[in-house]
Amino acid sequence: MTFDASARTVIERCEILGSYSEEPDRLTRRFASKAMQQVNEKVKTWMYAAGMTVEQDNIGNLIGRFEASHVGAKTLLLGSHLDTVRDAGKYDGPLGVMIALACVERLHARQVRLPFAIEVLAFADEEGLRYNNAYLGSKFMTGTLDPNVLHLTDIESITMAEAIRSFGGNPDPESLHIARWRSDALLGYCEVHIEQGPVLEARNLPVGVVTAISGQNRLNVSFSGEAGHAGTVPMSLRHDALCAAAEFVLSVETLAHSIPGVVATIGQVSVQPGASNVIPGIVTLSLDVRHQENKVRELVKDRLEEMAREICDKREVLLEWQLLQEHKTIPCALALTKLLEQAIEELNYPLLSLPSGAGHDGVTFSELTSIAMLFVRCRGGISHNPAESITVEDVDVALQVLEQFMLLLSTKNDLNE
């Protein structure tokens, strides 16, 4: 089979999976939903046809296993997620599963076995839409799922434990700390994913190698001034919380612009009391700061706090600075990443390395094994949106790179150590 034919199949399958949705007019596929059941059934049949044994684990992840050339060999993990956000595109997640599947299919067609087994993983939940808790699938597989999440409820008050049971799984809290694999039985985890950003497109490149999954901070920043009558309080006597917040918003943008690689976003603003004739008394902002180096991210976060305090002091507004979340940067493993780079160079494509600003299941797998990621260009850098779009040509390149990566990995002599 040519790479081009395989690439077309990958895109066709993403289209088919994209037709299974919980909502009639848009693509939404939450954890343990009927639409997830349908895509799992579909993917199972493709996995069987590609010579794999297939199993659905107790949380609903699919695992297709393609045995090695010899017994006792290690396992390479490939894969991505099959759940989506609300009103999603067709490629964020499914593309990585379909490319991994196509690579195995190509080996199977040529009756080739590698000196390591391949497991194609299709995670039941990465986006965390149903229970507002990301990476459920990979956490379950790596034995790091917190048993307390089983009590979380969705918008219909269905607990996660009930959802797992009705999906045919078993939410046994005792089993949650058991990883599917031992670290020494694995070669690593490699995920192909759409870039979700515009860098590859701007450089006119089909694929890029991910250096790290950037760390991030999420904060809640609140400015408390003094509400008052819009007509009677003179400008010189005001303590307008929104004006303080506005000054801060622009300082965030200026600082982020001045340091390469920093991205900082204020995506939510609430103004109280929120009337057209009242001076804003309290403004609350969300703040999201990311950078691929922990040190830089921490410096930026601290500098932003100083700036917010300076603004508030000047305006006699009270500041509340609350750190909600801190995720450290997860570097991709050097050895696997080098093989991806070598594969790209041997195929004569230009090499570009870039960090991932978005989180991925590799974050979870990094606790168990080496991780690597390959990004595929997506039109306009758009993701989490029905306008997500990729080309057959780029999928063709991604398939070639992943296949070459596996062939290079086969030549390593430390496979059985």
Query: What sign results for the dihedral spanned by CA atoms 231, 234, 238, 244?
Result: positive
Strand pairing partners for 272?
Answer: 282
Q: Which is nearer to Zn ion, 83 or 154 (CB)?
A: 83
- Whether the CB-CB separation of 96 and 372 falls below 8 Å is answered with no
Q: Which residue has the tokens 């691929």?
A: 292
Distance, CA of 196 to CA of 191 (rounded, Å) = 14
Distance, CA of 33 to CA of 25 (rounded, Å) = 17
- Whether the CB-CB separation of 58 and 175 falls below 8 Å is answered with yes
> Please, what is the minimum distance in Å from the beta carbon of residue 347 to Zn ion?
25
State the DSSP H helix or E strand holding residue 137, giving kind and residue range, or none if neither. Answer: helix 136-141
Distance, CA of 346 to CA of 352 (rounded, Å) = 14
80 CB-near residues (< 8 Å, 6+ apart): 93, 94, 95, 96, 97, 100, 121, 122, 123, 126, 191, 192, 193, 361
Give me 243's structure tokens. 């004006």
Q: Which is nearer to Zn ion, 60 or 93 (CB)?
A: 93
Q: Which is nearer to Zn ion, 95 or 252 (CB)?
A: 95
> Please, what is the minimum distance in Å from the beta carbon of residue 353 to Zn ion?
20
Distance, CA of 239 to CA of 315 (rounded, Å) = 6
Q: Which is nearer to Zn ion, 79 or 93 (CB)?
A: 93
- Whether the CB-CB separation of 277 and 231 falls below 8 Å is answered with yes
Q: Which is nearer to Zn ion, 94 or 280 (CB)?
A: 94
**Contacts with Zn ion, 75-114, as mask; x by CB under 5 A:** -----------------xx---------------------
> Please, what is the minimum distance in Å from the beta carbon of residue 136 to Zn ion?
13
Distance, CA of 71 to CA of 78 (rounded, Å) = 20
Strand pairing partners for 117?
Answer: 75
Q: Which is nearer to Zn ion, 9 or 196 (CB)?
A: 196
What SS3 state is found at 123? strand
> Please, what is the minimum distance in Å from the beta carbon of residue 127 to Zn ion?
7
Q: Which is nearer to Zn ion, 36 or 244 (CB)?
A: 36
> Please, what is the minimum distance in Å from the beta carbon of residue 371 to Zn ion?
14
**Contacts with Zn ion, 266-305, as mask; x by CB under 5 A:** ----------------------------------------
> Please, what is the minimum distance in Å from the beta carbon of residue 83 to Zn ion?
9
Task: Decide if residue 361 touches Zn ion (CB under 5 A).
Answer: no
Query: What sign results for the dihedral spanned by CA atoms 12, 14, 19, 25?
Result: negative
> Please, what is the minimum distance in Å from the beta carbon of residue 85 to Zn ion?
9
> Please, what is the minimum distance in Å from the beta carbon of residue 88 to Zn ion?
9
Q: Which is nearer to Zn ion, 113 or 290 (CB)?
A: 290
State the DSSP H helix or E strand holding residue 342, giving kind and residue range, or none if neither. Answer: helix 334-346
- Whether the CB-CB separation of 61 and 122 falls below 8 Å is answered with yes
Q: Which is nearer to Zn ion, 92 or 396 (CB)?
A: 92
Q: Which residues bind Zn ion (CB under 5 A)?
A: 92-93
